């Protein structure tokens, strides 16, 4: 009886197999990407202007190398307190009777004449130390951003019956000019004005 020979499997050369494995692992492997802080950098301008700011329209938040947070140079606070402090400052609307500022009829703040005049005049100044931890720095940014988001959500609900975040989410699928105008109108009512001071060595 004739002996049957097993069919040969054509595996190709070793170089081809190695190449196929390399392609497989490149396609199948997921790579983690480090996230960053989404910030819009200011545009470069050649125009030199001397802008005089009222001290009451600037909220100074400083954080040292030990991650201690000082507001207005002397009030020691925790990160969890920053959001409410920023909310009260931005939404104060204390410029009643000031012709240069105008009345903020949508502000719900205390109208304290010693605090910010109007949301479009309210500047939050952040100053850090070179030894400040990354977590504390990001925490302050998050708290200030959350304050702006809450104010924008509130006024958006009053004007359009939808939160500002819902409008921004809707913009991913709806590219209409009407929606863009709504989002711009909310941002104009509560513009995010954050000034970052050069970190110190102290």
Average pLDDT over residues 109-125: 90
Between 53 and 146, the more confident residue is 146
- C-alpha 81/C-alpha 139 separation (Å) is 11
Q: How far apart are CA 94 and CA 92, in angstroms?
A: 6
Q: How confident is the model at residue 119 (pLDDT cuts 50, 70, 90)?
A: very high
Q: CB burial class (10 A; 0-12, 13-18, 19+) of residue 132?
A: buried
Is it the case that residue 61 has pLDDT exceeding 80? Answer: yes
| Greater model confidence, 152 or 25 | 152
Give 46's pLDDT tier (boundaries 50, 70, 90). low
Q: What pLDDT, on the 0 to 100 scale, is given for residue 143?
A: 93
Which segment, 29-38, 97-106, 127-136, is predicted with the most confidence on average? 127-136
| Percent of the chain whose pLDDT exceeds 90 | 39
Q: Who wins on pLDDT, 144 or 103?
A: 144
What is the structure's pLDDT at 182?
Answer: 92
Of residues 115 and 17, more confidence is placed in: 115
Give the residue with greater pLDDT, 83 vs 49. Answer: 83
Nearest-angstrom CA–CA distance, 123 and 187 = 15
Query: pLDDT tens digit string along 20-37?
Result: 888 988 888 877 766 665
Domain limits, the chain: 55-200
User: What pLDDT, on a 0 to 100 scale, did the predictor assign at position 156?
Assistant: 94
Considering the entire predicted model, what is its pTM?
0.73
Tokens of 38: 């989404």
177-189 helix and 134-160 helix, angle to the nearest 10 degrees? 120
- 17-26, 41-50, 105-114, 131-140: segment of lowest average pLDDT: 41-50
Local confidence band at 18 (pLDDT 50, 70, 90 cut-offs): confident
């Amino acid at each position: 009886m004739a002996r049957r020979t097993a069919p040969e499997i054509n595996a190709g050369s070793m170089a081809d197999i190695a190449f196929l494995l390399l392609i497989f692992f490149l396609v199948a492997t997921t790579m983690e990407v480090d996230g960053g802080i989404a910030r819009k950098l200011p545009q470069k301008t050649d125009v030199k202007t001397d802008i005089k700011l009222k001290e009451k329209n600037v909220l100074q938040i400083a954080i040292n190398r030990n991650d201690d947070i000082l507001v207005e140079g002397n009030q020691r606070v925790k990160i969890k307190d920053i959001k409410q402090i920023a909310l009260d400052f931005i939404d104060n609307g204390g410029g009643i009777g000031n012709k240069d500022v105008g009345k903020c009829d949508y502000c719900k703040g205390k109208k304290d004449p010693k605090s910010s005049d109007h949301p479009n005049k309210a500047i939050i100044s952040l100053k850090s130390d070179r030894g400040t931890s990354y977590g504390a720095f990001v925490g302050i940014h998050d708290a200030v951003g959350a304050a702006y988001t809450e104010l924008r959500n509130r006024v958006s609900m009053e004007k359009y019956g939808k939160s500002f975040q819902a409008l921004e989410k809707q913009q991913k699928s709806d590219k209409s000019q009407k929606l863009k105008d709504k989002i711009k109108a909310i941002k104009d009512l509560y513009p995010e004005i954050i000034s970052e001071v050069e970190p110190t060595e102290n």
